Chain A
Amino acid sequence: MSAVIDTGHAHDGHEHHPSGIMRWITTTNHKDIGTLYLWFSFTMLLVGGMLALGVRLELFKPGLQFWHPEFFNQLTSMHGLIMVFGAIMPAFVGFANWQVPMMIGAPDMAFARLNNWSFWLLPIAATLLIVSFFVPGGAVAAGWTIYAPLSTQMGPGMDLGIFALHIMGASSIMGSINIVTTILNMRAPGMTLMKMPLFVWTWLITAYLLIAVMPVLAGSITMLLTDRHFGTSFFNAAGGGDPVLFQHIFWFFGHPEVYIMILPGFGIISQVIPAFARKPLFGYSSMVYATASIAILSFMVWAHHMFTVGMPVAGMLFFMYATVLIAVPTGVKVFNWLATMWRGSMTFETPMLFAVGFIFVFTMGGFTGLILAIAPVDIQLQDTYYVVAHFHYVLVAGSLFSLFAGFYFWVPKWTGRMYDEKLGKWHFWLSMILFNVTFFPMHFLGLAGMPRRIPDYALQFAEFNEIASIGAFGFGLSQLLFLWIILKVTVLGRGEKAGPRPWEGADTLEWTHLPSPAPYHSFHEQPVVK
């Protein structure tokens, strides 16, 4: 454990690191790397958001006004890829970097140099993705799911996309190995597994999921690459392959991926709710088991993304029932959060607002997920805007809102200053309302039969699309307010000074044992947990 030995050289309050840009390029400090991850993911969030606004701009009115259809397809595809792999996933890794060592009383991540490499792969991958817009034929336009054989038709933009996915996959795997090793080996004495904060638990399980499925994604896109360039026919029926095979492999990765993007969010919410209810988390062990069950079940439900490919009826029944089962542990989580709030002494600062908002809106996404799980109903709704509404309810109102909650919750620990509470509340209400204005109408569009990924639509869909577009621009602009809130509390260093424990109900190690801001090197002597 070189990292453990390294901390022996650190002295209280002294920060040994190069300054300027080299600090960030060469850093092996988990807090610096966490910051890098968070800034990177926020930048990607804004880029992906701009692409989404490009989509909503075209869909504001029927007819083609702004983009060619092929460019429109690039917008939707790249929006998906950038948000999933560039914004949401790295943001959670950023939280893991900052929080996991502090919450388990470890001085740093287990593999500090690997940590640096995991991060710096990401800007390279992002550059490839952005550059792909400018190659002949443009960027990936086959959807974020890059289904073969449409993806074998694309130009070199697809190769850049595949390469970028490979790099991001490698980054995720290294990051996950680091997180697993850190959690399993570097906990403070006395912190048994079942005493770990729930955020740490959810990340432990998420990291295992990542290690299990990222290679599967890598396999499928490598097969795609060889189909494209080396004459193989994995996904080409004319050569003995099967296009549906791609979907099976992709979703065997893709469904656990969905939970990769939400489980750490569950973890954040499980830290925030008890802190603001001033009451311990209800049903800690059942939360751990529920998280593990969701993770295990996530490997058995992938084909519910493919109910319309024409599966045997037995297969459809299996995947329908297995999918419905996932609602059980998810329900347990929601009930536990409510029981934690029940008879608490609640206050509603911005983190709590986002956490409660998360429960409310995420549950709606869960409900529509249930409707989509019922195979005959899914036949009607598959590949329509209903699906778009559903996964934005779980990924924006779920993952993104949990990230917002986590940011407001921990930023006093990171910077030693309180964020602007008034603006934070504005950010919450604007996001919450405009999110629903954007995505709620999409349920109706889907029910009425509007397909996904179309640049133009029949007149019957016009009104709801108009509302959704207005909401989307509002939601997008509200995030500029978030940018200002972040800049104010971090770069500009404005805001009240925060004490070591600004939230009286927060009781994990980073609040009880460390000052705010947390020193550059924390816990070189591990605390003892009773």
Chain B
Amino acid sequence: MRRGGGHRLPVCPKCSLSIISRENQEDTMIKKMAETIGVGLLVLSGTAQAAFQWNLPTPVTRIASEIYDLHLIMMVIILAVFVAVFGVMFYSIYAHRRSVGHKAAHFHENTTVEIVWTIIPLIILVGMAWPATSTLLALKDASSADLTIKATGYQWKWGYDYLKGEGEGISFLSNLATPQEQITGSAPKGEHYLLEVDNQLVVPVNKKIRILATANDVIHSWMVPAFGVKQDAIPGFVRDTWFRAEKEGVYRGQCAELCGKDHGFMPIVVEVVSPEKYTAWVDEQKKKMNAAADDPNKKWNLVELKARGEKVYAANCVSCHQAGGQGVKGAFPALDGSKLANGPRGRHIEIVLNGKQGTAMAPFGKLLSDTDIAAVITHERNAWSNKTGDVIQPSEIKSARK
């Protein structure tokens, strides 16, 4: 619904002219009323412009459309019951009032009626649950998938590994792409505010995609409403779900299980493309991955490592330890001037690799390459007021992993 012409009343110009020319009080009143209504309509059309979404999103998988229909059928039944039951209640409120002189009857039991209103709802309820059963069976059947992708929930991003099928071996992290300025309000919010990522999941259309959901730290949940998919990602366990998208396009969802501070900031974006486009994407990814692989024997210098480390820090560390390394008092420790970042490097490497039990500090060893970890530690030990001058080589991380 775009902006309607509601603010201007469909008044014939001749008539309105004649109204004005007469200029008696009554007409001025009419005019004022018309203006008020016009303004009212303008407000209404203004809000109608906004995205009021009243129902589930348009489904693009068979499961999602079955769910859509199930919900619709249930709503119809429920509304019918609602109207019947409250029709009776409001009639009674209207007719059986003392103020209209109604005298109270004295009945208080009727076994037949009791049995009837136990049995009928039972039938209706089973009638509602029955069609849901077949949908549920289909929804839980993740067998014979064309493509298997592992989705790993991290605090607070998603990681994707293409495990089986075309594109096997592709692996990347998917971070929120909305800039901080938009969130704090110092920049205008974009169209896909909070629902945009740096690397989106790409899958081919009309193929059965099996998602293996797991997590690295706490429970997350992988949700894409248009697919009718929501699967909790549980640390230490792998649970599966699946979808077969029938329409190309970009579909957006969010983490659906409270997972700490940035729970609201780890969206899921899935791009469904044609098979040809998908093949092209796979090739491109493979090339990129080969190019990105670092020579393990390369000796890095401080400047190179710091530059790379700053980027790694911005993608992984900044949401807790903050841009200035000052942390958040009482919740996330500071790195700037901290004992850890200025003390022995072995301890620093160990914490970054293995995380800290019982805190939000994740074991980044599972998440980042040796070079990235070496870079980010080098950055942390030489940024802000930290001036250790330490240069951590990837080889050092490699040996620390053992």
Contacts and interface: CB of A to CB of B under 8 A. Distances in A.
Interface of A: 62-65, 68-70, 73, 135-138, 141-143, 147, 149-150, 152-153, 155, 228, 236-238, 242-244, 277-286, 308-310, 313, 316-317, 320-321, 324-325, 327-328, 331-332, 334-335, 338-348, 356, 359-360, 363-364, 367, 370-371, 373-377, 379-380, 382-384, 444, 447-449, 451-460, 462-464
Contacts of B339: none
B264 interface: yes
B128 interface: yes
18 contacts: A68-B261, A73-B258, A143-B258, A149-B219, A277-B96, A332-B117, A343-B104, A347-B99, A356-B89, A371-B74, A376-B66, A376-B228, A377-B71, A380-B228, A444-B54, A447-B54, A455-B264, A458-B194
B117 A136 contact: no
Interface stretch (B22-30, B106-114, B160-168, B368-376): B106-114
Nearest to B79: A367
A69 B261 contact: yes
Interface string B93-131: 100111100111111111001100110011001101100
Nearest to B359: A153
A459 B51 contact: yes
Given A138-B331, A367-B81, 8 more contacts: A138-B330, A153-B217, A153-B260, A278-B104, A317-B136, A459-B51, A459-B191, A463-B51
Interface string B123-153: 0011011001101110110000000000000
A279 B93 contact: no
Given A243-B236, A360-B86, A153 B360 contact: yes
Interface of B: 47, 50-57, 63-64, 66-67, 70-71, 74-75, 78, 81-82, 85-86, 88-89, 92-93, 96-99, 102-110, 113-114, 117-118, 121-122, 125-126, 128-129, 132-133, 135-137, 139-140, 182-185, 189, 191-195, 213, 217-219, 221, 223, 225, 228-232, 234-237, 239-241, 252-265, 328, 330-331, 358-360
B132 A137 contact: no
Contacts of A283: 108-110, 114
Contact of A316 (B140, B191, B331): B140
Given A342-B92, A360-B86, A279 B256 contact: no
Nearest to B264: A454
The 8 closest A-B pairs by CB, nearest first: A237-B236, A310-B239, A454-B264, A449-B225, A345-B104, A136-B330, A448-B53, A343-B105
B98 A347 contact: yes
A228 to B, nearest CB: 7
Contacts of B50: 462-463
Interface of B is mostly: mixed
Contacts of B234: 237, 243-244, 309-310
B129 A320 contact: yes
Contact of A343 (B75, B96, B99, B195): B96
Contacts of A309: 232, 234, 239
Contacts of B93: 341, 346, 348, 356
A278 B97 CA distance: 10
Contacts of B184: 63-64
A334 B104 contact: no
Contacts of B53: 444, 447-448, 460
B121 A68 contact: no
B232 A342 contact: no
Contacts of A310: 213, 231-232, 234, 237, 239-241
B102 A343 contact: yes
Contacts of A147: 218-219, 257-258
Contact of A451 (B56, B140, B255): B255
Given A341-B92, A347-B97, A370-B74, A453 B258 contact: yes
A131 B401 CA distance: 42
Contacts of A324: 125-126, 128-129
A374 B70 contact: yes
B218 to A, nearest CB: 4
Contacts, number: 310
B104 A279 contact: yes
Contacts of A325: 122, 125
A370 B78 contact: yes
A11 to B, nearest CB: 40
B230 A380 contact: yes
A316 B50 CA distance: 38
A284 B110 CA distance: 11
Contacts of A363: 82, 85-86
Contact of A238 (B105, B236, B258): B236
Contact of B133 (A63, A317, A327): A317
A73 B260 contact: yes
Contacts of B221: 308, 383
Given A153-B260, A339-B113, A346-B93, A458 B102 contact: no
Given A328-B122, A379-B230, A334 B85 contact: yes
Contacts of B51: 459-460, 463
A195 B55 CA distance: 48
Contacts of A452: 256, 258
A180 B117 CA distance: 31
A243 B219 contact: yes
B232 A70 contact: no
Contact of A374 (B56, B105, B129, B257): B129
Contacts of B64: 380
B363 to A, nearest CB: 10
Nearest to A446: B56
A449 B240 CA distance: 21
Contact of A69 (B57, B121, B264): B264
A65 B185 contact: yes
Contacts of A137: 330-331
Contacts of A356: 89, 93
Contacts of B74: 370-371, 374, 377
A215 B396 CA distance: 51
Contacts of B328: 68, 70
B268 to A, nearest CB: 11
A376 B239 contact: no
A13 B249 CA distance: 79
A466 to B, nearest CB: 10
Nearest to A135: B330
A280 B109 CA distance: 9
Contacts of A285: 109
Contacts of A453: 258, 263-264
B242 to A, nearest CB: 12
A313 B240 CA distance: 12
A377 B236 CA distance: 27
A379 B98 contact: no
A377 B230 CA distance: 11
A236 B328 CA distance: 26
A251 to B, nearest CB: 14
A286 B118 CA distance: 10
Contacts of B71: 371, 377, 380
Contacts of A65: 185
A280 B106 CA distance: 7
Contacts of A364: 82
